[in-house]
Amino acid sequence: MMPDIFERLLGPRPSLTLDIEQGFVTGIWVAGRCPNVTIRDFDLGATAPGASLDYFGAPFVPINWHLPPWRLGLALAPPHLFPF
């Protein structure tokens, strides 16, 4: 398969791996490394004072996360498995 224009310009895309345990994200890896994670929270952005705007003008609050991924509380589980 021939690479697309972006791959020819930027090189191959890095791989994202999510470690999942009991429906919760416990690890995040990009190209085999643990990345710094930035979350763009659009739920808070609409009412947050001084919210940043994305490319399309939608407000969001950037959250830079440097703690272990499991502390984010990202879940891929049904709500009845949430501990809260």
Q: What is the pLDDT of residue 24?
A: 75
First CA to last CA distance, the chain:
46
- Over range 53-59, report the average pLDDT: 76
The CA-CA-CA angle for residues 31, 37, 21, to 5°, reads: 75
Q: If pLDDT is split at 50, 70 and 90, which confidence band does 41 have?
A: low
On the question of pLDDT at 14 being above 60, the answer is yes
pTM for the structure as a whole: 0.52
78's tokens: 């049904």
Domain ranges of the chain: 9-81
